[in-house]
Structures are given as C-alpha cells and as structure tokens.
C-alpha cells in the first residue's frame, strides 16, 4: 500500500481554495500511484477556526467540503480532518474528526480523544472528546488513526489520564497515522520528533504524520510532516515552511534506511523564516498588498523592514522617516542607507511642526510644567498619526515594530509606536533582534553596521538611552524569559542569581503593563509563550504589582 502525505497551506473559512487544494492533491497522489492520501487535522476548515465553529452554516460548509473530497476519491482513498456534528444531546455539539473517504463516500470517521486546552489551544471549548475506539481497515492493513494531541500523552509528565493508542493496540494495527495542526515555535520541530519517535518505539509500528504549513494570523505552522519505520527511524521528512507531497510504500518501510534528515536551521534562522512566512500569509490571505512602517534608524524598525521586503517585495513596502528635534543625524542617515540598500521607497516627514502645534495648544493646560513623559508621548503619537494617515489615504497596512522586551515592560506609547495592523517582532526579545540583524547581514551588509552597534534609544528627549529606564537587555531578557516562558517567580529568579532589585522592578513592569498588551496588534508567535492568545492575564490584579 502506498501512502501520500499531503502537507498544504489552508485558509480558514476559504472553502473554495481549500477544496481546490485538496482535489489537486488527490489527483496528484493518484497520478503518482498512491492508494491513500492523508491530509491534516481540520483541513477543510483551516486551523484554528475558533468561534466560526458556533455557526451552523460554517459546519454545513465543512461537511460539504468533506463530501466533495469524497467524490474525488475514485481509485484512491483519503483521510481528511474536519468538524462533525455530535448526534448526542449530552456533551459538546461537535467532534474534531478524521474522515476516511473511499469510493466516493465517507466510509468511516475517527474522533479526537485528547483535546488540548492550554496556551494557544482551547479545543474543549468546542469539541466533545471521543470515547469509542476503532481502527480503519484498508488494503488488508489495519490503521490506527489518531489526531494530533492523541499521540502527545507519552513520557513521564502526562497531561491526560488515558492514551488512545493504548486503547487501539488490542485491535492489532499494522501502522499509525496521525493528522495534526501543530503550531510553530523555534523548538517545536525537535519536540515533535521526540514525541513521535517515542510513540513508534513504544508501539513498534510505523507512523505517518501530516502537519499544516502556513500562517493563520498569529499562529505559524512549519510543516515538517514525517514518516517513521517501526524501528523509530525517520525515513521521510517533508518541507519546512512550504507545501509538499511525498509518497511512501508501507510494505517497504522496514527496508528504507533512515534518511539524512533536513538539517534544521538554527533558532534565529527559524525565527527569520517563520516571520517572513507570517507576514506573507497575513497579507496574502487578507488580499492585502502594501505595507508601511516608521523607519527610525534603530534596529527594530530596520529588521522589520527587511523582513517585510523579503515577504512582500520591495515594490510593496514603504518606509517613513519621522525625525524629531532629538533625532541624531546618524539615525536619519542609517535609515536612509537601509532603504537605499533595499531599493525601497522612503519619505522624510519631520514631526517637529506638528508636535510644536500640539504643545502650544496644550501649553496653558499643562500649566507651564517641565518637559516630561507627556511631551515624549506626543512625539510618538505624532508619528503614529502620520503613519495611520498615510495608511488610510493609500491603503497601506502599518507594521508594528515593537519587540517582546519592550512589550513586556510597557516601554512603548499606546496610539503611537504601538500602532499597527500586525506586530512582526512582538515575540522576539531585543537580544534576539540583534541576532536577527546579524543573520540578515551574514552575506553582505544590508542593515547599516551603526544601526546594530549603537546604544538603543527612543530619541524622545536629549541624549536618551533605553538603559536610562531599563536594565541592560542582556540581563533584562534573561529575567523576562524565565518569568514569561518558564513561569519562574521572584524567589526562584533571585535564587538563580539575578539581582533582587532588578527582578522586582522587572516583574512589576510586566504585570502593571498588561493593559497595554491588550491593545496591541496580533503578534506573530515564534516562542513557546507569546503575548496574545497563549498568555491570558488579568489587567486588574495585584500580584507582583507594587503600590
């Protein structure tokens, strides 16, 4: 029996596009001699469909897509994921289902047992867990069919009480197939391979695994679908960050040698590739064309501009330089040099005339108080006003350039530099932004060297440096990583050797700036714990917030 793994970039709710992709993959797999083609979890709807699942019409359209896929299955069978109505009155209204299609019909269906309800996942909000176990028989093979999380309850730290494969093993299956929607973070491919290998070693069965690829707003999917022989060796690996289709002969799996696995890029290259894909898919799936951003001469806007140019093309990106009376000549030159290196249209719009008018207008209301944070923020908001005016007038989408370190401690101005339709670097710490810049410059200088080596500054007051308000980023980012990603509290952080004053001040800033993060644009997720849908914190809270 020959199995084709079809790794596709789906678009949530774009039924026509998804149906066309599925039909073309079925035809291609059939032409290549496959007996069975396997698609990903919730392929017909795209993942995650979220509250679209609460609309009857959406579910009907999903089922129509499954039925259309079934009609294409003549001389070939398919497995495809989609939502299924639960006929029982008790329980949730839907199942997360893998449909087995053959001879133009839906021949069988298997429902997902383990429903993740942590971090970015909230499947139990919509789906009823499976409680009936069965295998799929096809071409004299018994298939143990599972869905994503169903294979992840393995090892020492178990999240669930049961394990679907333990319940399927008495049926004496010949192979395992797992359809998945496994979102990207820069360590996920390593984790994924380890989990799947552990299943193969435990059950002594070959395994075929199909993942999504592409971006769905903030969630990125890297693909990397896999085929294992029963010895736990990877004998097939599909592309990363791209669509792919490969065929494997089940009867020859034991003879196939372990492949020279694709050398996974390093962390920073993975982040780079994921962000480029995220920008490209966000614009492409929303039928948007052009991006705009404020280019300051600093490293965050520089890296964002390069990523946008690589995702959208130089003709679709516009940079706006908005110097203030505090901007250095070198910052302006650095920004111009970068735009010229990339051959990108740029304009210079000084903000001083506008800020002077606002300051004059507020002069009596400010009661002649000294220059302070209000005046600094007026400058940032003037830049935001200019960018949004150009966005409205010409139809650009504004890219936000704030990094994760700034977002964590609230080092940004609401309705100013925190504006945007998409946050490109909001899950990338400042130290990682520097690494991205070095990666971008690995073959030639794209980002001016001075942009990388000069001390970071918002340039909103004379001789301002980020270090005036924040700990050194090399220290700050380590504290933030341990607190945000690893959930270490102040006592644990101090025991790890971090200065107590730095720890307490940093955690206070993080927890008192939650209200700002509630108002940020969608953040492309590249880490295990990103701000946004995967980190849910109350705004009105006292924990670690000082008086």
Domain containing residue 287: CATH number: 3.40.50.620
If asked whether residues 241 and 343 sit together in one domain, one would say no
Whether 544 is covered by a domain: the verdict is no
Whether 524 is covered by a domain: the verdict is no
- Token pair for residue 481? 């990583």
If asked whether residues 79 and 218 sit together in one domain, one would say yes
If asked whether residues 163 and 303 sit together in one domain, one would say no
Strands 397-400 and 291-294: parallel
Domain end point (choices 219, 252, 285): 252
From 30, 73, 148, 193, the catalytic residue: 148
From 112, 404, 430, 529, the catalytic residue: 112
Whether 365 is covered by a domain: the verdict is yes
Strands 244-249 and 2-7: antiparallel
For residue 465, what pLDDT is reported? Answer: 76
For residue 458, what pLDDT is reported? Answer: 67
For residue 274, what pLDDT is reported? Answer: 98
Residues of the chain below pLDDT 70:
260-263, 458, 461, 546-547
* C-alpha closest to that of 280 among 336, 213, 347, 225: 213
H or E stretch covering 60: helix 56-71
Domain CATH for 34: 3.60.110.10
Number of domains in the chain: 2
Whether 22 is covered by a domain: the verdict is yes
Written as one string, the DSSP assignment of 104-169 is TEEEEEEE------STT--GGGTBPPP-----EEETTEEEEEEEGGGGT--SSS-SSS--HHHHHG
Domain end point (choices 439, 466, 493): 466
If asked whether residues 289 and 243 sit together in one domain, one would say no
If asked whether residues 220 and 273 sit together in one domain, one would say no
SS3 assignment for 281-306: HHHHHCCCCCEEEECCCCHHHHHHHH
From 19, 21, 41, 123, the catalytic residue: 41
If asked whether residues 284 and 218 sit together in one domain, one would say no
Contact between residue 230 and residue 251 where contact means Cβ atoms under 8 Å apart: no
Contacts for 357 with CB less than 8 Å, ≥ 6 apart: none
Contact between residue 277 and residue 215 where contact means Cβ atoms under 8 Å apart: yes
For residue 547, what pLDDT is reported? Answer: 60
Contact between residue 189 and residue 138 where contact means Cβ atoms under 8 Å apart: no
Distances (CA, A) of 483 to 314, 361, 469: 38, 43, 20
Whole-model pTM: value is 0.95
Q: What are phi and psi of 84, to 5 degrees?
A: -130, 135
If asked whether residues 164 and 198 sit together in one domain, one would say yes
If asked whether residues 178 and 236 sit together in one domain, one would say yes
| 41 classed as catalytic | yes
Distances (CA, A) of 251 to 141, 178, 245, 255, 385: 10, 18, 19, 9, 64
Residue 166: count other Cβ atoms within 10 Å of its Cβ: 13
Contact between residue 41 and residue 79 where contact means Cβ atoms under 8 Å apart: no
H or E stretch covering 311: helix 299-312
If asked whether residues 309 and 335 sit together in one domain, one would say yes
Whether 484 is covered by a domain: the verdict is no
239: DSSP letter: P
Whether 171 is covered by a domain: the verdict is yes
- Token pair for residue 488? 């270490």
For residue 328, what pLDDT is reported? Answer: 74
Per-residue pLDDT tens digits for 417-475: 999 999 999 999 999 999 999 999 999 999 999 999 988 776 776 777 777 778 999 99
If asked whether residues 10 and 121 sit together in one domain, one would say yes
Domain end point (choices 425, 442, 466): 466
243: DSSP letter: -
Per-residue pLDDT tens digits for 365-377: 999 899 999 999 9
Whether 490 is covered by a domain: the verdict is no
CA distance 361 to 371: 15
Whether 507 is covered by a domain: the verdict is no
If asked whether residues 434 and 384 sit together in one domain, one would say yes
If asked whether residues 172 and 283 sit together in one domain, one would say no
Contacts for 341 with CB less than 8 Å, ≥ 6 apart: 445, 446, 447, 448
| 491 classed as catalytic | no
SS3 assignment for 328-346: CHHHHHHHHHHHHHHCCEE
Distance from the first to the final alpha carbon of the chain: 68
Per the structure, the complete domain to which residue 114 belongs is given by: 2-252
| 148 classed as catalytic | yes
CA distance 400 to 293: 7
């Amino acid at each position: 029996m020959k199995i084709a793994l079809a790794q596709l970039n789906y678009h949530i709710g774009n039924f026509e596009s998804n149906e066309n992709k599925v039909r073309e993959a079925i035809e291609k797999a059939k032409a290549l001699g496959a007996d069975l083609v396997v698609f990903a979890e919730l392929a017909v709807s795209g993942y995650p469909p979220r509250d679209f699942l609460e609309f009857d019409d959406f579910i009907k359209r999903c089922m129509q897509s499954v039925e259309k896929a079934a009609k294409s299955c003549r001389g070939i069978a398919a497995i495809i994921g989609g939502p299924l109505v639960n006929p029982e009155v008790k329980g949730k209204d839907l199942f997360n289902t893998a449909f087995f299609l053959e001879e133009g019909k839906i021949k069988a269906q298997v429902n997902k047992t383990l429903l993740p309800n942590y971090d970015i996942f909230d499947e139990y909000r919509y789906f009823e867990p499976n409680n009936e176990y069965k295998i799929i028989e096809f071409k004299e093979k018994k298939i143990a069919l599972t869905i994503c999380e169903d294979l992840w309850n393995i090892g020492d730290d178990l999240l669930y009480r049961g394990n679907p494969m333990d319940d399927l093993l008495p049926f004496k299956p010949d192979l395992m197939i797992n359809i998945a929607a496994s979102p990207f973070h820069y360590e996920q491919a390593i984790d994924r391979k380890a989990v799947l290998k552990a299943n193969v070693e435990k059950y002594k069965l070959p395994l075929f695994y199909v993942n999504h690829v592409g971006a769905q707003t903030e969630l990125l999917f890297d693909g990397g679908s896999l085929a294992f022989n029963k010895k736990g060796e990877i004998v097939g690996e599909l592309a990363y960050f791209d669509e792919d289709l490969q065929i494997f002969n089940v009867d020859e799996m034991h003879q196939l040698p372990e492949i020279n696995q694709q050398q996974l890029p390093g962390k920073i290259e993975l982040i780079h590739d994921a962000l480029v894909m995220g920008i490209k898919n966000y614009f492409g799936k929303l039928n948007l064309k052009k991006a705009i951003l404020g280019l300051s001469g600093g490293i965050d806007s520089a890296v964002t501009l390069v990523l946008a140019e690589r995702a959208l093309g130089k003709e679709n990106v516009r940079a706006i330089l908005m110097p203030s009376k505090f901007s250095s000549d070198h910052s302006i030159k650095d920004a111009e040099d970068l735009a010229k290196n990339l051959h990108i249209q740029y304009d210079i719009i000084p903000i001083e005339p506008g800020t002077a008018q606002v300051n004059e207008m507020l002069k009596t209301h400010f009661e002649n108080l000294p220059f302070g944070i209000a005046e600094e923020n007026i400058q940032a908001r003037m830049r935001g006003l200019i960018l949004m005016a150009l966005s409205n007038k010409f139809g650009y989408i504004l890219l936000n350039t704030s990094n994760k370190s700034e977002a964590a401690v609230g080092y940004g101005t609401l309705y100013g530099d925190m504006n945007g339709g998409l946050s490109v670097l909001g899950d990338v710490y400042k130290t990682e932004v520097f690494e991205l810049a070095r990666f971008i410059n690995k073959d030639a200088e794209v980002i001016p060297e001075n942009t990388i080596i000069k001390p970071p500054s918002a340039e909103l007051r004379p001789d301002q440096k980020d270090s005036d308000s924040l700990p050194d980023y090399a220290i700050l980012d380590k504290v933030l990583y341990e607190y945000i990603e690893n959930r270490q509290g102040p006592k644990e952080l101090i025991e790890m050797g971090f200065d107590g004053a730095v720890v307490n001040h940093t955690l206070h800033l993080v927890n008192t700036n939650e209200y700002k993060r509630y108002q940020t644009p969608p953040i492309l997720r590249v880490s295990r714990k990103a701000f946004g849908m995967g980190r849910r914190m109350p705004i009105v809270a006292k924990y670690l917030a000082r008086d």
